[in-house]
Amino acid sequence: MKRRKFLKNMSLTMGAPFALGGVPVKLLAQRNGLHQLASQSTNDRILVILQMHGGNDGLNTLVPIHDYDLYRYRRPNIAIPFKNGNRTLIPLDSTLPSEAQVGLHPDMQDMKDLYDQGRVGIVQGVSYHQNNGSHFRGRDIWNMGGGSRDYYSSGWVGRYLNYEFSPLEYPDQFPNEDMEDPLAVEIGTTVSLLFHQTDNIPTSISLGSSPEGFANLIDSLEGFDETQTDPKGIPPEFMQPTRYGKEIEWILGLEQKSEEYADRLFQVYQQSTAPTVTYPETYPFTNARNPLSGQFQLISRLLEGGCKTKVFLVKVGGFDTHADQVVEGAPTLGAHAQRLYHIASAVKAFQADLRARGLEDRVLTVTMSEFGRRIASNGSFGTDHGTGGPMMIFGKHVKPGVQGVVPDLNLSNVGMQYDYRQVYSTLLRDWLEVPQQEIIDHIFFEDFFDGEKEDGSGNYEPLELYEFDDGSEVTSVDFIAERYGLDDPYPNPASGAITLRFHVNGVTRVTLSLMDASGRVIKSLHEGQYAAGKYEQRVSLAGVVPGNYLVNFATVQNTETKPIRIR
């Protein structure tokens, strides 16, 4: 064997990621002796994890309306304005209790739109006990699914996949006809502990820079010297009995897996169609490229093409905002604003893309960040490492709303209201349908759920994050109607005029009209732009023939009708 060629082949199986549509991708391949998890999943649901790399400032993401004056006092140089100027916080939900009232950063209008569609759930004050504010240790803890004293060699997603798929002989039996795709895909250039299993390592595969290119690259791989073996890299017989023979076979077996993955994912990608939804390309104020649009487009295309991968990890960096988090004198602009815009706009486009492809029922997206920022700002127009922060969950079947309250702004750090494992274990139980006992025994372990807690703070019980179909939970339809809806018109029966009462949860255009039984509009009653609040409008019925009608209330968020009899 020629050393140069061996090292070249080795780097292709263990080095940089490949690219699909110009987006770098990591594939999960694991070693456990010669075994691999590789059978058909029990459901077709997908989890997308959005990593906000660097430690997101939750207080400028979800700005406290409750205790806003204290928020402004603790952050005099970076506080988001409440009422003055064109760029002010966006009130999220006027129906929440006062202690939970928050506003979104002004560059997150797209998230407000998703929230009003019943497609956003928020959990406040997420952390873990004894959070030390370390980037590397914090990411390891969130990825491994442990506490501050734990040092697991596996990640919680890896342990979940161990449950979800049964072991088959690897590499001979993987991929197979039941599971042709990688179990998990990490988009980016690093290998995450998230997908590790005990005694296993995730292996990245370099496959090129375009859908066509990565497949062609694998086809052209050089193997051992052509006089001793074929170009696909089967080791020569004289090396097989050696102490290194099995390891070399394993490495070259991954090369073969690379070829199979490349062919499969190239086929899947080609079977999909280009998005009909427009993804955001840049941030309007700086023209900075949106790093998430390509990642989300890739996922939607792979899923439409038939990919069965269960978990995707997408990443956006730049949240370590010690300095210049905002622009001096313009606190709604700057590095943090740009990244919040990237997330809100790309996620909204992703949801619309999934809906257009008929995939929205299958996908749930959850954010993570290794820690939050301190409550007080620093003198460099930034924030230093903190502890807790919010998690956001997006999807058609998320239970919409806010769980938890505004953090206590008198403290140095955001206090823990929920342990991050509550969020993950709930998604495993309710979304990915993992039995609770399996979660307790093998994924987050019994000492987290039932053992003595490290302190008395926080809540460790499973949350309600998923919208069940059996009527036991508030549905998104109910959620929207509670925030954008029409009360019964009065008087009823009526003659001459009626009074209409309606409520909206954000700035929106309201159209009121009178319809006949077939749904045909026979009279326009009122139209106007309204801010969040409750309203009453007296409208004339002049010229309407007596009979049974419907009053139609229409906004971008909701359409509702109420019966009315006119005498």
In whole angstroms, give the CA distance from residue 245 to residue 44.
39
**Which pLDDT does position 465 carry in this prediction?**
84
Q: Are residues 393 and 521 in the same domain?
A: no
Tell me, yes or no, whether 233 lies in a domain.
Answer: no
Q: How far apart are the first and last CA of the chain?
A: 96
Q: Which residue has the higher pLDDT, 42 or 158?
A: 158
Mean pLDDT of 251-272: 70
Q: What is the pLDDT of residue 22?
A: 62
Domain co-membership, 437 together with 490: no
CATH number of the domain bearing residue 368: 3.40.720
Residue 254: the pLDDT is: 53
Q: What is the mean pLDDT of residues 44-55?
A: 96
- Res 461 pLDDT > 70: yes
Q: Which residue has the higher pLDDT, 194 or 406?
A: 406
**Domain end point (choices 433, 449, 465):** 449
pTM (2 d.p.): 0.84
Same-domain pairing of 50 and 157: yes
* pLDDT number for residue 12: 37
**pLDDT over 80 (residue 42):** no
4 domain-assigned: no
Question: Are 194 and 294 found together in one domain?
Answer: yes
Element (H, E) at 114: helix 109-116
Does residue 29 register a pLDDT over 60?
A: no
Domain residue limits at 537: 484-566
209 within 8 A of 22, measured Cβ to Cβ: yes
Name the domain count of the chain: 2
Mean residue pLDDT across the chain: 82
Q: Is residue 316 part of a domain?
A: yes
Whether cis (ω within 30° of 0) applies to the bond prior to 491 is: yes
Between 213 and 77, the higher pLDDT residue? 77
Q: How far is CA 307 from the centre of its chain?
A: 19
What does the pLDDT look like over 347-385, one tens digit per residue? 999 999 999 999 999 999 999 999 999 999 999 999 999
Provide the pLDDT confidence category of residue 217 given band limits of 50, 70 and 90: very low
Tokens, residue 118: 């019943």
Listed in sequence order, the DSSP H helices in 242-292 are: 245-271
Residue 235 lies in a domain: no
Q: Are 49 and 168 found together in one domain?
A: yes
Report the side by side order of strands in the sheet with 485-486: 485-486, 497-504, 533-540
In a domain, 11, yes or no: no
pLDDT score recorded for residue 185: 81
Instruction: Judge whether 45 and 432 are in contact, CB under 8 Å.
Output: yes
Place of tokens 């993955």: 261
